[in-house]
Amino acid sequence: MRFATRDNSTADGELLVVSADGMRGLSAGPDWPHLLGALERWDAALPALGALAERLAAGEGNAIDGATLCAPLPRTWQWLDGSAFPTHGELMQQAFNHAPIETDKPLMYQGMSHQFLAPGGEVPFPSADDGIDFEGEFGVVTGLVPMGCSADDALAHVRLIVLINDWSLRTIAPLEMKTGFGWVQAKPACSLAPFAVTPDELGDAWRNGRVCLPLTVEVNGAWFGNPNGDAMAYGFHELIAHAARTRSLAAGTIIGSGTVSNPGYDVVGSTCISERRAIERIAHGEFRTPFLSAGDRVRMQVGEEAAHFGRIDQQVTLAR
pLDDT by residue, tens only, the chain of 320 residues? 999 999 999 999 999 999 999 999 999 999 999 999 999 999 999 999 999 999 999 999 999 999 999 999 999 999 999 999 999 989 988 988 777 777 889 999 999 999 999 999 999 999 999 999 999 999 999 999 999 999 999 999 999 999 999 999 999 998 988 888 888 999 999 999 999 999 999 999 999 999 999 999 999 999 999 999 999 999 999 999 999 999 999 999 999 999 999 999 999 999 999 999 999 999 999 999 999 999 999 999 998 777 899 999 999 999 87
CA–CA separation, 194 and 69 (whole Å): 7
Coil, helix or strand for 200? helix
Tally the C-alpha atoms within 13 A of residue 198's C-alpha that lie toward its C-beta.
15
Rounded Cα gap, residues 101 and 294, in angstroms: 35
Please give the angle made by the CA atoms of 49, 54 and 55, to the nearest 5 degrees.
Answer: 95
Name, in order, each residue with C-beta under 8 angstroms of 284's C-beta and a sequence gap of 6 or more: none
Which residues lie closer than 8 Å to 182 by C-beta, 6 or more apart?
109, 110, 176
Helix (H, G, I), strand (E, B) or coil at 91: helix
Distances (CA, A) of 197 to 2, 33, 58: 4, 18, 19
286-315 b/e (C-beta count within 10 Å ≥ 16 → b): ebeeebbeeebebbbbbeeebbbbbbbbbe
Nearest C-alpha neighbor of 256 from the set 88, 60, 58: 88
Q: Could you give the domains of the chain? A: 2-68 (no CATH), 79-318 (3.90.850.10)
Geometric angle at alpha carbon 84, from 171 and 95, rounded to 5° = 45
Which pTM value belongs to this model?
0.97
Alpha-helical (H) ranges within 58-154 are 86-96, 151-154
